[in-house]
Amino acid sequence: MDRQSFHKLCQILVTKGELRSTRNMSTEEMVAIFLNILAHHHKNRVIKFNFTRSGRTVSKYFHECLKAMIRCQKDFWKSPEPVPENSTDYRWKWFKNCLGALDGTYIRVKVPEREKPKYRTRKGEIATNVLGVCSQDLQFIYVLAGWEGSAHDSRVLKDALSRRNGLKVPNGYYYLVDAGYTNGTGFLAPFRGQRYHLNDWRDGHRPETPNEFFNMKHSSARNVIERCFGLLKMRWAILRSPSFYDIITQRRIISVCCMLHNFIRREMALNPIEHQVDNQFVDGTLETNDYIGTVESSEDWSVWRQNLANEMWNTWNGNRE
């Protein structure tokens, strides 16, 4: 984060997050300590040495900054914007009215011994299953952290839709999801049993059916959420290994890291860390109150997906002739 962005963040936390300086510490130093812990995952004893503060002071103002971020979280989340009819973006132009992509990721956490069986993933790690929803420009729209690692992605999504302040999907709009989710109204999944991942199309391989072509384009667009998660974990070391806080604080830390990710993308036009992540991956506010409230398969939605795949295939073949 450059100096200009840092000072703007401090200003937001003071004016909207109610963060206050004290006689012995400025808000700038509080935020610097806070960001240092998130970015490097240093323990209190390291931070107190670097900033010449007591461990108690470091802990106190870390939590104060965390609370300030939560208070003004509406300023950090991205408002969903559908892909317009006249879009020329080669990744997204096929998916009119799409709001972005969503997926789940695991972030390792520390929990009491009695809670570990619930948080154990299929790979045996103790982690929380985090639902992330992002826009086409790599900003988080919604994040739900805290579900146990043993929970299925679809269960987490259903919970997000049922919450009062949860994920809102207006009728007529949708998100791209992977094959682990149900292909239903509001959530467009790829065709199962067909080539899908971007690596499948390397070395000159071409799609041979409308369904394969659809999967190729779907994968190229949905890859945005994978890049978001990659950037998030590369930027904030505290998300790459279990932190030393209780599970409630760890959930808040995950959400706050996503907010700061959005803030940095908006404020810094050039961000070197994004080039590192790109090398690892080969590839307006909605006014309606009519929202999708369930996740279930739909015959109409499957027919629409097949028609879209056929249209994409015919257009692509027509351009090749």
Q: What is the pLDDT of residues 151-205, one digit of tens each?
A: 999 999 999 999 988 999 999 999 999 988 989 899 999 998 877 776 766 666 7
The set of residues, in sequence order, having a beta carbon less than 8 Å from that of 235 and lying 6+ positions away, is 39, 257, 261, 264, 273
Residue 91 DSSP one-character state: T
| Bridge partners of residue 291, in order along the sequence | 170
What is the per-residue pLDDT for 270? 63
One-letter-per-residue 3-state SS of 36-91:
HHHHHCCCHHHHHHHHCCCHHHHHHHHHHHHHHHHHCHHHCCCCCCCCCCCCCCCC
> In degrees to the nearest 10, what's the CA dihedral of 229, 233, 238, 241?
90
Residue 31: what pLDDT?
Answer: 96
Say which amino acid occupies 60.
K
Q: What is the pLDDT of residue 286?
A: 40
Tell me the pLDDT of the chain (321 aa) as tens digits: 889 999 999 999 999 999 999 998 999 999 999 999 999 998 888 998 999 899 999 999 999 999 999 999 999 999 999 999 998 898 999 999 999 999 999 999 999 999 999 999 999 999 999 999 999 999 999 999 999 999 999 999 999 999 988 999 999 999 999 988 989 899 999 998 877 776 766 666 777 889 988 988 999 999 999 999 999 999 999 999 998 899 999 999 999 999 999 999 999 866 666 655 555 444 433 444 456 666 667 788 888 888 888 888 888 777 765
Strands 174-176 and 140-148, how do they pair? Answer: unpaired
Write down the domain spans for the chain.
3-75, 98-320
Burial class (CB in 10 A: 0-12, 13-18, 19+), 72: middle
DSSP letter at 127?
Answer: E
Q: What is the pLDDT of residue 204?
A: 63
What is the tens place of the pLDDT at every residue in 98-124?
999 999 999 999 999 999 999 999 999
pTM: 0.88
Output the average pLDDT for the chain.
Answer: 88
Angle, helices 247-267 vs 210-235, to 10°: value is 100
